[in-house]
Each structure stands twice: as structure tokens, then as C-alpha cells.
Amino acid sequence: MSNNITNTPEELIQKEYTAGFVTDIETETLPPGLSEDVVREISRKKVEPVWLTEWRLDAFRRWQKMDEPTWAHVKYPPIDYQAISYFAAPKGEKPKSLDEVDPELLRTYEKLGIPLHEQKMLAGVEEDPSQPRVAVDAVFDSVSITTTFKETLKEHGVVFSSFSEAVHSHPDLVKKYLGSVVPKQDNFYAALNSAVFSDGSFVYVPKGVRCPMELSTYFRINAENTGQFERTLIIADEGSYVSYLEGCTAPMRDENQLHAAVVELIALDDAQIKYSTVQNWYPGDENGVGGIYNFVTKRGACRGARSHISWTQVETGSAITWKYPSVILRGDDSIGEFYSVALTNNRQQADTGTKMTHIGRNTKSTIISKGISAGHSSNAYRGLVRMNPGARNARNFTQCDSLLIGSECAAHTFPYIESRRKDAIVEHEATTTRVSDDQLFMCRQRGIEPEKAVSMIVNGFCRDVFRELPMEFAVEASKLLEVSLEGAVG
């Protein structure tokens, strides 16, 4: 006889992926393979101006000469870029209004809990003005299905549309800013994206406007053997404010799918952009079969004085994550922030972090990173804080914590600090801990079931980051962690 305690923390973790269904819909797909012709074909399908076609081709030619990066702490078999299809879209004309959208697609978003009906949202809103509204751009495989609340936003002068639409409606803005933060040759995946990007979201908030609602893009990969390459461009003009949310899911499939997005943010004088992501791409099964390769370049430019960009990310999905949302702090007194929770389980691998490049005077950056590794997963934080010689009185604070659950997982921290400025102050702290048996026992003694206890402890560990998320997202993020930590007991 003995006190038979059977639940170790690792046994409590068994992830159930609820967004793993496939939508049965007719899709128009380009055959696998990548060439100048394919790039031209994508551009032609989107009826793009010549300059953009040329821009894509230039990116493609540069990409051909580049090597895939190998420095990240992740392992995967070589990707055959000729085996991927670079374009997939639901068949037929692009719907002009929600009524024309294929009901099957609407059902998909409903199942995912994404509101595409404005009325539904509005009904609740008018009675409760404190309830924030969310406008959604829904991207399904390579194209944007619909963007909600466009009219309401238009009244405030806010442009929120699919990228393809912006190319036609706001060519000057697109031409001016596209590739201005992430140049097309920036890195291997950014170059690939620049050549073949299909759709994404475009936001412009004019001078002095505080965007009246949260803007949100929901990315869904559905088709088989395709990659998703979206491009997001957000411009906050002087004195404006916008909060933008991004969500992602994909069906459960046995093969790996590539997602290589580029996000560019531009904040001018006194503007603020808050960019939040809940990344829940399919992570693969417990043996590491399938899942999304998430190789994403996200960068914000604080161009203006007193501008402010913050990245908040909750990463629970993807087989492999390679992602470093960064901020270039060029404007004096500008602020960059990075708040991250990355949870890896089973065979997932994440190499994620941020770069804060301080160029302007009195620039400030804060990095809070919480990595949780469970199962056989590997979770790495990689960061760079650079204080350039002109960054007078620049400040950075970094807190980087890892939580290990089980003895088969791994946690790494690679923070680069480069200071070329006497009065710049950089502080970096990191700790590694685990969910201790004593913590678990204390919770259980008080009557809290082990899985609930682990999820509570993990949530507590992430508190500093969740605090930065918009309300609905914070709840979603917290639930997502709970789902990830839910599982068979005993």
C-alpha cells in the first residue's frame, strides 16, 4: 500500500486541438512549384500593377540566391519548395458582401468562434458601450473572404481592408510603405513571402484618429499542400492609435505546411500600435507528425518621435516557430515592447524572441518573455538589444523566464546585448524553474485537482504577459493554455 499519486505534471498535459477540422469547399489551387511564371501568375490573378509584379520578381530572384537560415535552435527535414502550392482560394468571384459568402465558409468561422456578422456584434454593443467592438478581416488560405465594419471605420477615416484591395484603393500608401520595414531581401522567408504573398490585411489610421474598435485578422489555412504567405501592413499616422489582433488556426494534417508571413508596422509621431497575436496553428500530433512551420518576420518601425509599438504574443501552436517580432526605435522618446508567452508541448519546437534596436534618444524598450516547455518539446528565447551610438539615455529591461514541465523537454535562452552608448542602460534577467511537486501538492491538499493546479500555476507564470492583452484575447489566451494543459487524469 502506498499513497498512490499517479499524476505527474507531464501526464496532465495532453493537448486537444479543437480547430483541426477541414472545410469541404471547392478550391482553386495553383499546381505545386515555384518559378517566375508562378510569381507572375499570382500577381496576374490579383490584377496587380506592373510595379508590384516587378517588385515580386525582384524578391524572387533575390530569394533564389539566398540560403535557408540554420542558426535557430530547431530541427526539421529539408523543405522542398517546389512541392508546395503557392496559391489556394475558394472558387468563384470574391463576394461583394457577407450575403454572398459561401455558407460553408461562414460555418467555418462560426465554429472557430470568429464573428463575421456585424449585426450580431452591434446588437450587443449598443446596449453596452463599454463592450469593445471588433472588426474582422477573415483570410482563408490565400485570400481575404470578408472584412467587417468597413463602413463604420470609414466614417473615422480608418482604412481596414484586405491587402489585395488596398493595392488598388490606396496604391500610394502601399507603394510608399511596402517593404520599408522588412526589405524584400531581409531574410530567406521574407524574400519568399515578398515573391509570393497572396493576401493579408492593410490598415491605415489617419492623423489624430483613435481607431474606434479593435481590428482583427483571422488567418485560416484549409487547403492541402499549400503554404500561406500573407502580408500585413499597418500604418499609424501622427497621433493615432490602433489595437490590432491576429488569430490563426489550421486543420490537422499529417504533412507539414509552411506559413511564412511578413508583418510591417509603421508608427509616426505620437502614434501607437498595439499588435496582439494568439497563434494556434496546428502543432502536429504527439509524435510530431504534421503541423505548421511558422516562419514569420514581424517588425515595427517607431519612425516618429514619441511613437509606441507593442507586440504581445501567445504562441501555443505550430510544429516549428521561428519568429522575432521586433521594433526599430528611430524616433526620439519612442517606446518598444514585447510581451510573449510561448508554450510548447509534445514535439513542438519554438525559437522565438525579439530585437530592439535603439537608434533615437531616450528610447525605451521592455521585453517580458515567458517560455513553457512540456513533453519532448524545445523552447528557445532569442533576443537582441542593440544600443546604437546615438541612442542617448536609451533604456531596456528584459525579463525572460522559463518553466519546464517534465524531464524530457528543453528550454534555452540566447539574449544578445550590444551597447555602444555609455549612458544607455540594459538590464537582462532570466530564470528557469519548474512546476514543483510541492506547489502541486499544496494545491491538491486544498482540493484543487492536479490539472487545474498545473494550469493555474502556468497561468500565474504568464500573468505579466496576459495583462497586456486586450480583454477578450486575454480570456481566449488563458483558455487556450488551459486546453493545452487539459488531459487525461490518472
Partner 1 sequence: MSLLEVSDLHVKVADREILNGVNLEVNPGEIHAIMGPNGSGKSTLTNTIAGQEGYTIETGDLRLNGTSLVDLEPEERSYAGLFLAFQYPVEIPGVTNMEFLKTAVDSHRKQRGETALSSVEFIKNMRTLVSRLEFNPEFLKRGVNESFSGGEKKRNEILQMLCLDPKVALLDETDSGLDIDALQVVAQGINEFRKPHNAVVLVTHYQRLLNHVVPDFVHVLLNGTIVKSGDASLALDLERMGYAWLEQDANP
Partner 2 sequence: MISEPVKIAPWLDAKQIEQTLQDAKMPLPRKDPWKYTSLNQVLQHLDGPFEGNDQFPASNGNGVLIGALCDPEIEPFAREYVSQVSKNSNNVLNSVNLLRAQQGYAIVSCESSESSRPAVHISASDSCERVLIVVQEHTRLEVIEHTSGGNRVIECVLLAGSQLLHRRLQPASTNVEYNSLTVNLKENSNYRMVQYSVGAKLRRNDIVVNIEGEGAQVDISGGWKLSDTSHLDTQLTVNHLAKGASSQQKFHGVVGDSARAVFNGRIYIARDAPQTDAHLQNKNIAISDGASIFTKPELEIYADDVACSHGATSGQLDEKQIFYLRTRGVPDERSRELILEGFLTEIVEHEEGANVLGIEHRGME
Residues engaged in binding partner 1 (CB under 8 A) = 1-5, 436-439, 441-450, 452, 456-457, 459-464, 490
Whole-number minimum distance, CB 378 to partner 1, in Å?
24
Among partner 1, partner 2, none, what binds residue 409 when CB lies within 5 to 8 Å by partner kind? partner 2
Whole-number minimum distance, CB 415 to partner 2, in Å?
6
Crossing angle (nearest 10°) for helices 188-196 and 50-64:
150
Whole-number minimum distance, CB 457 to partner 2, in Å?
14
Nearer to partner 2, 169 or 436 (CB): 436
Q: Which stretch binds partner 2 (CB under 8 A): 34-42, 102-110, 242-250, 409-417?
A: 409-417
Q: Which of 214, 292, 289 is nearest to 249 (CA)?
A: 292
DSSP character at residue 185: T
C-alpha 104/C-alpha 116 separation (Å) is 13
Among partner 1, partner 2, none, what binds residue 464 when CB lies within 5 to 8 Å by partner kind? partner 1
C-alpha 291/C-alpha 287 separation (Å) is 11
C-alpha 239/C-alpha 307 separation (Å) is 8
Residues contacting partner 2: total by CB under 8 A = 35
Whole-number minimum distance, CB 461 to partner 1, in Å?
5
Work out whether 434 is an interface residue with partner 2 (CB under 8 A): yes
Site for partner 2 in 43-62 (CB under 8 A): none
Three cell numbers at 263?
Answer: 508583418
Whole-number minimum distance, CB 152 to partner 1, in Å?
33
CA 240 to chain CA centroid, Å, is 22
C-alpha 179/C-alpha 184 separation (Å) is 6
Site for partner 2 in 55-94 (CB under 8 A): 71
Q: Residues 421, 451, 470, 480: which binds partner 2 (CB under 8 A)?
A: 421
Among partner 1, partner 2, none, what binds residue 21 when CB lies within 5 to 8 Å by partner kind? none
Contacts of residue 296, Cβ cutoff 8 Å, sequence gap at least 6: 189, 259, 260, 261, 262, 263, 322, 323
User: Cell 487539459 appears where?
Assistant: 486
Whole-number minimum distance, CB 455 to partner 2, in Å?
18
Site for partner 2 in 378-397 (CB under 8 A): 387, 389
Question: Which 3 state secondary structure label does DSSP give 80?
Answer: coil
* 291-302/256-259 β-pairing: parallel
Whole-number minimum distance, CB 376 to partner 1, in Å?
23
Whole-number minimum distance, CB 381 to partner 2, in Å?
9
Q: Residues 422, 438, 447, 490: which binds partner 2 (CB under 8 A)?
A: 422
Beta bridge partners of 279: 248, 315
Nearer to partner 2, 207 or 434 (CB): 434
C-alpha 363/C-alpha 335 separation (Å) is 6
Among partner 1, partner 2, none, what binds residue 424 when CB lies within 5 to 8 Å by partner kind? partner 2
Whole-number minimum distance, CB 54 to partner 2, in Å?
33
Crossing angle (nearest 10°) for helices 188-196 and 36-45:
50
CA 404 to chain CA centroid, Å, is 23
Work out whether 430 is an interface residue with partner 2 (CB under 8 A): yes
Nearer to partner 2, 7 or 277 (CB): 7
Q: Which of 7, 72, 8, 13 is nearest to 376 (CA)?
A: 13
Q: Residues 180, 432, 439, 459: which binds partner 2 (CB under 8 A)?
A: 432
Nearer to partner 2, 91 or 420 (CB): 420
Work out whether 441 is an interface residue with partner 2 (CB under 8 A): no
C-alpha 380/C-alpha 483 separation (Å) is 22
- 102: exposed, middle or buried (C-beta count within 10 Å: 0-12, 13-18, 19+)? middle
Nearer to partner 2, 268 or 453 (CB): 453
Nearer to partner 2, 401 or 468 (CB): 401
Q: Do the beta carbons of residue 321 and residue 308 sit within 8 Å? A: no
Residues that bind partner 2 (CB under 8 A): 71, 387, 389, 402, 404-434
